[in-house]
Amino acid sequence: MLRFLTAGESHGPALVGILEGMPSGVMVSVPFIDDELARRQKGYGRGRRMAIEQDKAELLSGIRNGKTLGSPIALLIKNKDWTINSLPPVTRPRPGHADLAGAIKYSHTDVRNVLERASARETAMRVAIGAICKQLIKEFGIEVISHVIAIGPIKADTSGLSFKRIKDLASKSNISCADPKAERMMIKAIDDATIDKDSLGGVFEVIAKGCPIGLGSYAHYDRRLDGRLAQAIMSIQAIKAVEIGSGIESAYKRGSEVHDEIFYKKNRGFFHKTNRAGGIEGGMTNGEDIILHCFMKPIATLGSPLSSVDIISRKPFKAAVERSDICAVPAAAVVGEAQVAFELGEALGEKFGGDSLIEMKRNYNSYEHHISRVYGYR
Ligand SMILES: Cc1cc2nc3c(=O)[nH]c(=O)nc-3n(C[C@H](O)[C@H](O)[C@H](O)COP(=O)(O)O)c2cc1C
């Protein structure tokens, strides 16, 4: 079983992560992890802290000479602006944050004790762990990418673009958008929101290519891959909805317009010509690309602050203006990729489980051989 834990406060000395259950023998590149961390820090609309941080991961255990040992992998990402002990107390909970409910739940009158951990700074560690998972799933031909498909009301049109084209265009874009025309309008929308002391959310798409048929299961509620992916994405700060394939639109249509018909070709096996299901049927991968749309609310810390009430004095006030992102959708997309890579690593481990990569690959190859022989796949 693959699982991970993270620890660390936003302005504490470091973020810490433990990834357990990785098979032995997986090549892990630290520069790749750092590249992924750098991707999370980029994106038009991010605040000043991103310029300070420049995250780097240190691997403390579980890897020797560049390969996993099968033992727990411990990671460390140091915070450069480590000031937690000298920061003043906060008694004014910010609307749209964990501040008020968290203070009451954990019995704090200093809201800083809540916001330091609730902050999305923690997602840096998720990205580092996801980068290791990406290196595992790559061994099985699976690749996970993301791109921004909306910022506020501005929507990208990427219909008809291949996986490779989306990946290339998004990687060159300042805002991870594969539609250059929409990208310009998105940047303008962020500039306008900045002038208006406001913020923006948006939508990103995560695509996973190369999944074998049959990851996840219909047999039990908690084994359904759609449910697990949705939970993984919903766990990212500020994500408020997830759509699999064209799930939302399909609710307003007739069945004949929605479901993906099945075809068969010798040397190709069974396939669908459309992928409105987003690669998952009955809680299992069906061999098509997994497609997730992830909806992020606008950043809650605003240049023109909203009203709230002081926890101690009970007096109303306008929330303090703090440095903050105006829009963090491109960064959240990188976190989304990490969460999906982790879930797919876990699902691969369940289906082809083994303590070493060699063992997992043996099980995987034997399954592929079986389905090609019995069901006529390539
Ligand atoms: C990558 C990323 C960066 C974020 N940056 C900020 C930020 O700079 N300021 C802010 O107020 N919220 C930011 N958020 C969102 C908050 O962390 C989130 O809204 C808050 O913790 C409350 O959680 P909830 O929105 O899930 O209820 C960011 C989220 C992500 C995923």
The pLDDT tens digits of the residues spanning 126-138 come to 999 999 999 999 9
Spatial distance between the Cα atoms of 345 and 343, rounded to a whole number of angstroms: 5
Q: Is 301 in the pocket of ligand 1 (CB under 6 A)?
A: yes
The domain ranges of the chain are: 3-375
> Which of the four pLDDT bands, split at 50, 70 and 90, describes residue 148?
very high
Where residue 52 falls among pLDDT bands split at 50, 70, 90? low
Look at residue 370 and tell me whether its pLDDT is greater than 90. Answer: yes
Q: Please classify residue 229 by burial: count the beta carbons closer than 10 Å to its beta carbon, then call 0-12 exposed, 13-18 middle and 19+ buried.
A: buried
| Ligand 1 proximity of 115 Cβ (cutoff 6 Å) | no
pLDDT for res 15: 98
Q: Would you call 74 exposed, middle or buried from its count of C-beta atoms within 10 A (0-12, 13-18, 19+)?
A: middle
**C-beta 237 within 6 A of ligand 1:** yes
Ligand 1 centroid–CA 111 distance in Å is 16
Q: How many Å lie between the centroid of ligand 1 and the Cα of residue 201?
A: 10
Check residue 61 and give its pLDDT.
98
The pLDDT value recorded for residue 284 is 98
Q: Could you tell me if 55 and 34 are in contact, meaning their C-beta atoms sit under 8 angstroms apart? A: yes
Residue 294, SS3? strand
Mutate to test the pocket of ligand 1, among 6, 55, 119, 197 (most ligand atoms within 8 A of CB): 119
The residue whose C-alpha atom lies closest to atom 9 belonging to ligand 1 is: 324
Q: Kindly indicate the confidence band of residue 213, based on its pLDDT and cuts at 50, 70 and 90.
A: very high
Q: Please state, in angstroms and rounded to a whole number, the distance separating the CA atoms of residues 134 and 311.
A: 43
Tens of pLDDT, residue by residue over 98-107, are: 999 999 999 9
Instruction: Tell me, using a 6 A CB cutoff, whether residue 327 lines ligand 1.
Output: no
Query: What's the CATH code, domain 3-375?
Result: 3.60.150.10
